[in-house]
């Protein structure tokens, strides 16, 4: 298959914002707020470990599928997009984990945000954190914004929602989904914006393989600043976009649908990059703001190809759930996460990983080749 983008490159914007450390603006109380959040999430970790007799992630706890594939950078990209991992046409092995974002093992019938974590293996270059690894992680969700603007917002409303998602029994969350859907139907014709906590439960429960996944918050893109998304490319997964998961499909409907799909078919996704052109309209520190395509289009830079495979392997699932960690701060300095929410994630993800591996007595291992990943 030819490694060219699926669409012609759009006319480039006249200017893209140049990356600078000065683009970030820290709340003077940020470190104290982050520490408070880390301690609160640690209590969720401890509660979950006691409940499940096994430590799990404090977010994206339930895996919905684990796959191997390849990321192929397109040749002849326009100059502003030849940055970091995407500077040269090259193919890398990848490990992909799909998930639900709650910090508990929930029924797949519970509506909410889904995630895609991608670990690119065999990258080289200056690291964000000198960790000796050769991987680049991208953490994505099926929303192009984050529900909370920054650390201060998350320390209030976000922590309350995190506790609800971690500790509320499934039957109550299902009832909340019904109420949220009803509220959304009433609010729509009145053009009333519902709270993010309500919208979270109102969104349809659709096939995870048909979703488009976004970085939501910005990251450095070499000389520039960007958001990244992964969108269905092959007809096999485009056909799943918007496909509802029936309530009769059971508590593991997403995982089973992923296993069934890859037992018979492969999937292609496209990596697209949206460069920042205006830090006022496309802010770094407010993750709730949508970056309009009118300001800067999403330009294809790579293809992810996932071949037909058996995703039901217990060894593979155990590796993704217990051994390896996904963290957007694991990677190249050219793709350093930016903004308040990402600075929060650095501390939170590290604390969660440390707790999980210590309590389970399992060493964290970072793959150096696709052969390190069990089949």
- Per DSSP, what are the bridge partners of residue 300? 272
Residues 29-53 have pLDDT tens digits of: 999 999 999 999 999 899 999 999 9
Q: What integer is the mean pLDDT of 12-31?
A: 87
Q: How confident is the model at residue 197 (pLDDT cuts 50, 70, 90)?
A: low
- Cα gap 174→31, rounded to integer Å: 36
Q: How far is CA 301 from CA 17, 89, 93, 126, 353, in A?
A: 19, 9, 16, 21, 31
Reported as a single tens digit per residue, the pLDDT across 101-126 is: 888 899 999 888 999 999 999 999 99
Whether the per-residue pLDDT at 189 is higher than 90: the answer is no
Q: Which domains occur in the chain, in start order?
A: 21-278+294-361 (2.40.180.10)
Q: How confident is the model at residue 196 (pLDDT cuts 50, 70, 90)?
A: low
pLDDT band at 159 (very low <50, low <70, confident <90, very high): confident
Least confident of 21-35, 146-160, 318-332: 146-160
Q: Which two tokens stand for residue 68?
A: 């191997």
**Is pLDDT of 62 > 50?**
yes
Q: What is the pLDDT of residues 321-334, one digit of tens each?
A: 999 999 999 999 99
Burial degree of 240 (CB within 10 A; 0-12, 13-18, 19+): middle
Confidence grade of residue 274 (pLDDT, cut at 50, 70, 90):
very high
Taking only the tens place, the pLDDT of each residue in 354-372 is 999 999 999 999 999 999 9
pTM passes above 0.85: yes
């Amino acid at each position: 298959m030819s490694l060219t983008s699926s669409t012609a490159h759009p006319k480039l914007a006249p200017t893209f914002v140049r990356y600078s450390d000065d683009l970030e603006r820290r709340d003077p109380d940020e470190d104290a707020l982050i520490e408070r959040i880390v301690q609160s999430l640690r209590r969720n970790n401890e509660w979950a470990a006691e409940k499940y007799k096994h430590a799990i992630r404090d977010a994206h706890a339930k895996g919905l599928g684990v796959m191997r594939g390849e990321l192929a950078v397109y040749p002849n990209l326009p100059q502003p997009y030849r940055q970091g991992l995407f500077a040269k046409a090259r193919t890398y092995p990848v490990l992909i984990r799909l998930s639900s974002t709650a910090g508990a093992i929930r029924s797949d019938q519970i509506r909410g945000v889904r995630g895609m974590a991608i670990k690119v293996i065999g990258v080289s270059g200056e690291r964000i954190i000198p960790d000796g690894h050769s991987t680049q992680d991208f953490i994505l969700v099926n929303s192009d914004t984050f529900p909370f603007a920054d650390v201060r917002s998350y320390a209030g409303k976000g922590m309350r929602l995190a506790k609800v998602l971690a500790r509320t029994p499934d039957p109550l969350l299902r009832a909340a989904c019904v109420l949220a859907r009803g509220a959304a139907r009433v609010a729509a014709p009145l053009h009333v914006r519902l709270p993010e906590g309500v919208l979270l439960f109102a969104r349809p429960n659709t096939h995870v393989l048909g979703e488009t996944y976004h970085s939501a918050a910005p990251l450095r893109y070499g000389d520039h600043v960007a958001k990244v998304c992964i969108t269905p490319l092959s007809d096999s997964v485009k056909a799943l976009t918007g496909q509802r998961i029936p309530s009769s499909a059971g508590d593991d409907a997403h995982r089973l649908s992923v296993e069934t799909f890859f037992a018979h078919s492969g999937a292609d996704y496209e990596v697209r990059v949206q460069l920042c052109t205006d830090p006022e309209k496309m802010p770094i520190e407010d993750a709730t703001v949508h970056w309009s395509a009118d300001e800067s289009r999403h330009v294809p830079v790579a293809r992810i190809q996932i071949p037909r495979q058996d995703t039901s392997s217990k060894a593979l699932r155990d590796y993704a759930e217990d051994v390896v960690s996904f963290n957007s701060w694991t990677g190249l300095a050219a793709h350093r996460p930016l903004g308040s929410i990402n600075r929060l994630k650095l501390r939170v993800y590290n604390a969660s990983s440390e707790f999980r591996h210590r309590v389970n007595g399992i060493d964290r291992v970072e793959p150096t080749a696709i052969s390190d990943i069990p089949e």
